[in-house]
């Protein structure tokens, strides 16, 4: 019975993790070695905006504002840029590592459901 309780508790934590907000890098630099992070809102994405000349802006952004027109208005001083928006933890870093948390959460959830039913 004790094992069932532990797995059911793990299941609940896994479900909670799947619905939580993301974390993004938040800085502006030329080096690409950003370490400062920021907790975002539930409807946010992580922005990585590359300015011609090498400057990179990283931060949280509303998912609906992640398009060329909105970014041009938000950064009128920037003449030429490319950008990427993503929705997993710390995905706007120099090296994008696909987050395993959602997959791990799903696996733990499935095992928890199976264990709780037996």
The domains of the chain are located at 2-117
Return the ∠ at Cα 52 (arms to 51 and 54), rounded to 5°. 75
CA distance 73 to 78: 10
Q: Quick one: pLDDT at residue 2?
A: 53
Low-confidence ranges of the chain (pLDDT < 70): 1-20, 94-112, 114-116, 118
So what's the pLDDT on residue 29?
A: 85
Q: Which long-range contacts (CB under 8 A, 24 or more apart) does 98-102 make?
A: 101/17, 102/18
CA distance 52 to 100: 32
| pLDDT value of position 108 | 57
CATH of 2-117, one of 2.160.10.10, 2.70.210.12, 2.60.120.10, 2.10.60.10: 2.10.60.10
Query: pLDDT value at position 53?
Result: 86
Q: Please give the torsion angle defined by the CA atoms of residues 73, 75, 78 and 84, in that order, rounded to the nearest 10 degrees.
A: -100
pLDDT for position 118: 65
CB-CB contact of 46 with 84 (8 Å): no
């Amino acid at each position: 019975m004790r094992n069932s309780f532990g797995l059911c508790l793990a299941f609940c934590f896994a479900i909670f993790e799947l619905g939580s907000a993301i974390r993004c890098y938040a800085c502006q630099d030329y080096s690409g070695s950003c370490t400062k992070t920021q907790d975002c809102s539930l409807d946010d994405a992580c922005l990585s905006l590359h300015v011609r000349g090498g400057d990179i802006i990283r931060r949280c952004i509303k998912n609906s504002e992640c398009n060329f027109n909105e970014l041009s208005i938000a950064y009128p001083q920037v003449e030429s840029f490319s950008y990427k928006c993503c929705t997993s933890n710390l995905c706007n870093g120099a090296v994008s590592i696909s987050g395993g948390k959602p997959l791990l959460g799903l696996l733990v959830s499935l095992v928890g459901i199976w264990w709780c039913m037996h």
